Every structure is written in C-alpha cells, then in structure tokens.
Structure 1
C-alpha cells in the first residue's frame, strides 16, 4: 500500500509542477448562503474561474506537456464538443503545437468560437457527425492516418493526474474536509480527486454525482465493469457520457464512497439559485455538487 501511495503522490506532484504558471490556482470559497442553509461550512472550488472556465485544462496540458518533443511536434488530436476541446486548444497554443479538434456538426457556434479563441492559429476545427461518438471515431481514424497523438478527455493516467491537482489545492487551502462532492462524467476528475484524498485525507467521504439521465458510472459499478448505455439525456453535457473509461472505472470503484443521481430539474433550479443569490454563472455539471446537498 505504501508503494502505491508513494507512486501516486509523485505523479500528482509532477503534474502540479508542469501546470505551475499555466493554470490558475482557483479559490476555495466559503459560501455564506449555502453554509447558513445547511448549517455547516460549504466551500466551492471555483474552477469556473479557470482560464478556460473549467478544470479540463489541467488534464489536457499535463498529458500534452509530458509527451516526448518529437511526438508532440507531429501534432495532437482530440474529439470534444465542450470543455475538453477548449482546454486542449489552449494547451496547443501554450505549447506551440498543431492541434486538430473534431466536434459534432450540431455543436453550438458559441462553443466552436470559444475553442478557436483559446487555440488561435494553432488549431484546426473539423465538424463531423451528429454525435460525440461519431466525431470521436473520425478523430481516431484521422489520428492514425496522420501519425499524430490522440488526447482523450478522461481515460489516461496523465489526464487523471492533471485533474487531481484540483484536490491538491483544496487540501492545501482547507485540511480536514468531511465530505467532497465530485461531478462524474467519464470519471477523470473523480478518479484524480478521489485518489489524492484517499492518500492525504482518508477520513473524507468522497461522493460521486451523476445526472439521472446519464448514470454511466452508477451502472458500471452495479455491473462491475464499464457498460455502454443505449440512451442518455445530454442536458448536463459536461457529465453526459454513454460509457465511462476502463481506467477511470478501475480507480473510481476503489475511491468513491458513494454515488448519487441528481434529477435534471433539480440541477436547473440550482443553476438559477446560484445566479440569483450569489451571481455565480455555472454550467449544469458544475451545479451537481450543490444540487445534491438536500440529500445530506
């Protein structure tokens, strides 16, 4: 056990070193309204204030910056309709490498334009297929044909370690946390945060959260392996995947103390309350951690 902990710690520390000066060290803020409502201290980790407005930059940059120089110079590819694409694009710009982003044809132009803005001249965007799954297949085929490197959104240890630096910052700012509520999509954030907390704050209960319409990790835990869901509700787009990663599942099954499903309607209400009461603009996946608090 000691050897595993030492290796995992070293990998997180290396990720934090790579990300130093690249990502914002986002604040861990005590929220007065939520603390008063739930009669406890409720802190929000404000990754919505990150450079690309989500934690996804951490994993993308950590993986890309760890690639051998000659491999990186051949270019990188990703498939995403949202936050991963923007983190990937910004990483391409910072590293000065060519990147190709595959996005579904139905991707809102606002997201396409945001991705272009973060990547500038370093990226090319290809709109392919009607779903993420369609464009992911096209991206991997393009990647193989051109000898580039595919940067996955969650299922790689370097992605997980990058996302895990969120936990490093949380514990540095506030040791002794009783519960941490983590949104779960493909499992990269929950695997990284959960692993770090299990080493350095083992008494903290780690609760994974999914929207009711996309329970991919919950179903995987029931089955004992990742399963592909036939249909999912894509409203909570940052946490709506049909199948979690093999690697992220293997970690999450050991580090998550519980999984909870949150109704989409409750998520909508939470988004509105955060805006009206705290002037915080949050995407649906970011609202999961607050929407579930009534259950505790």
Structure 2
C-alpha cells in the first residue's frame, strides 16, 4: 500500500533554503485595532507585502527551481486566477525560462497586468473560460500537446512545501504559543502546507480554515469525505473561488484542519473597507478572509494568541464600488425597491419629505413614464446610516400610499435591474 503524502519538516526546511533568493521578509505584526476589538492578541502574517503581493511566489519558485534542464527548455504552463500566475511569472523571469499562463477571462485586469509585468517577455498570457477550473483544463491540454510542464497552483508536493514556509516563519517570529491560526482556503495548498507544519511543531494550535460562502469547495468535500466539484460558485473572491480543491491538500487537511468557517462575500467586503480605513492595509478579497472569520470565533479567541494569514493584496481599484455596494447590502444599509409613484407634480417631494428619514439617502433613482397609468414605477436605491431604520422606512411608505416591492431578496430581478 502506498504511503500517504505528508509534508515533512525536512522538506519544508529545504524549501525555505530554495526560495530565500526570491522572498521578501514579511512581518508577523500585532494589530492593535483587531486586538482591542476581540480582546485577544491578534497578529497578522503580512504575505500581502511579498514581492508579488501574495504568498504564491513560495510554492511556484520551489516547484520551478526543482525542474530538470530538459523540462525548463520545453517551457512551463500554469493556470491561475491571478496570484499563482504572478508567482510563476516572476519565477520565470528570475530563472530565464518561458511560461504560458492561462487565466480566466473574469480575472481582474490588475492581476493580468501584474503577471505580465513580473514575467516581462518571458511569459505569454492566455485568457480562457469563466473560472479557474476551465482555464486549468485548457492549460493541461496545452501541456499534453506540446510536452511542457504544468505548474499546479496547489495540488503538488513541492507547491505545498513552499507554501508551508509561511508557517516556519510564523513560528520563528512568534514570541508566544499560538492558540489559533486562521488560514484562507482556495485550492488548499496554503492550509495543507501551513497546517502540516504546525501539527508537527505546535500541535495544540487550532488550525481554522476560511472559505468564501459562495465557493465552499473544501467544506463540502470534508462533509462528504471525498473531493467534490461544485457546479456553481460565486467568483467574487477570485483568489479563493475554485470548483474543486486539490486531492493532496484534501487528504492533508483531513488530518490537520480543526474547523472551516464560511464567510459571506458581503462580510469580506466590509473587512476590506475596515482594513483600509482603520489600518491603511490594502487587501484583495481572499486576503481579507482570515480576518473576516474572527467575528465567528469572537468568544473562543478572547484572551488568546491569534494569527491571521493575510494572503494577498492584488486588488483592482476598479472593484472599489462593487466592494462598497456588497458591504452595504450585507450590513443591511442599502436597500432597493420598485416604487410606484403617483404621476402628479410633487409626488417625489412628498416621498422625500414624508417617507425618508433624516439620515436616509437616495443613491439610485431610475424612473421612466412609459404609460398613461396613474402610477409610474421607479427603481430606487436607499442607503441608511443604521439598519434599524429599515422597518420605519417601509412603514412610512405604506402609510403614505407608496406601493412598493422590495428587491434585495429577489436576486434574479435585482441583478437584472442593477
């Protein structure tokens, strides 16, 4: 019977020596705001400060550096939602080899430009499919047809061992016993590596995986006891939205992960904004996952030593409005209605004076008189300063005769109108 693969301390230490030439020293820094909020010692492992702005350079360089001259001569291929692509691109440039990088067409433009910038003339970027999984299938097909080596983002021992060096540094830099470690999960390479190191060196540390609620691949696989492929996922948290986790990470995670928290995408957006406004830390959605999970562990971590891995900061500034919108919707501060206004002069003024609260604001208004009916529909977005004001807003609409339909809880109609 073949022995199961499990990253050894020797292999992780060897990986650290291999990748030292491309690593930026990332701090393990206490965060005062989070520590005060959760009455714990909360430390952030700032992988967003890597040269390629994510931890992915670790596994990518460790794998590529191991290839034979023959393999390097034929070139390499990878598929990525963004961060692995940048790690492969930078490694290719440093080692002077050619790489094809497949990325989903939905990848934020910032990540595409960064991959090209890091790889320069050594990389060719190919956009294919709507998800990482579709891009990956096309990349594997290319490898088979042209004899190139595929650099998997998470389902490879050398990738996992490279990512595990994050844990090695956390242990080296920590001055205390770590009680809880929160780790984002995409394909599972990071948590498999980090978790395997901690379970051998600090077995009492609780390893908490964190997935976006719209892409719970590892969680569902854990429940069923085997790797499953999700048919539909929310791709918003692009760095962690995969339909299928890796086989090797799954087997390792069964042994090392103590719990998995699913965080709604809206809460992730709230954390992105809070980190920027409170701490001037810029993170991508996947980079905020571990911190967003603290809310679900508030009671358990009180008085404890906690580490959150901030996995990356490759965020596209053009997504800011979407991030703010998702946050407001999740926090119950943004509400959309179809409101039938009486077609008479002063109807809108009546609505503003008698329905809106003193701190409410109309942020979206789309009205078109297309019929001769007595009441014309308008699509209206209203932002509150306190979610408790919602019931009063709805009550006043009814009392003043404004027929309305609430849209937030009708996702298909909501997406169509907005």
TM range, normalised to the smaller chain?
over 0.9
1:36 and 2:40 matched = no
* Deviation, structure 1 residue 112: 1.7
1:66 is matched with which residue?
66
* Deviation, structure 1 residue 294: 1.7
**What are the residue-to-residue correspondences of 1:187-266 with 2, within 5 Å?**
187-266=188-267
> TM-score scaled by structure 1?
0.96
* Deviation, structure 1 residue 155: 0.3
Is the Cα contact below 8 Å between 2:217 and 2:245 reproduced in 1? yes
Is the Cα contact below 8 Å between 1:25 and 1:169 reproduced in 2? no
Change (3 A) 1:63 1:40: same
* Deviation, structure 1 residue 157: 0.5
> TM-score scaled by structure 2?
0.68
* Deviation, structure 1 residue 78: 0.5
| Structure having the higher Rg | 2
- Aligned-CA RMSD value: 1.7
1:109 is matched with which residue?
109
Cα distance in 2 for residues equivalent to 1:104 and 1:257? 32
2:100 is matched with which residue?
100
* Deviation, structure 1 residue 108: 3.4
2:41 partner SS:
coil
1:283 and 2:284 matched = yes
* Cα deviation 1:123-168 (Å, max 9, x = unaligned): 1112223333332222111111111100011000100000000000
1:148 and 2:148 matched = yes
**Greater Cα offset, 125-134 or 115-124:** 125-134
Equivalent pairs, count: 294
2:131 is matched with which residue?
131
Question: Where do 5+ consecutive residues of structure 1 fail to align?
Answer: none
Cα distance in 2 for residues equivalent to 1:99 and 1:115? 11
Bigger helix fraction:
1
Cα distance in 2 for residues equivalent to 1:27 and 1:80? 26
Is the Cα contact below 8 Å between 1:74 and 1:148 reproduced in 2? yes
Cα distance in 1 for residues equivalent to 2:257 and 2:129? 34
1:272 is matched with which residue?
273
Cα distance in 2 for residues equivalent to 1:193 and 1:48? 16
1:247 partner SS:
helix
Is the Cα contact below 8 Å between 1:271 and 1:282 reproduced in 2? yes
Question: Where do 5+ consecutive residues of structure 2 fail to align?
Answer: 298-418
Change (3 A) 1:67 1:176: same
Superposed structure 1 runs of 4+ greater than 6 Å apart = 3-7
**Greater Cα offset, 147-156 or 99-108:** 99-108
1:182 partner SS:
strand
1:186 is matched with which residue?
187
1:89 is matched with which residue?
89
2:278 partner SS:
helix
1:292 partner SS:
helix
2:77 partner SS:
strand
* Deviation, structure 1 residue 7: 6.8
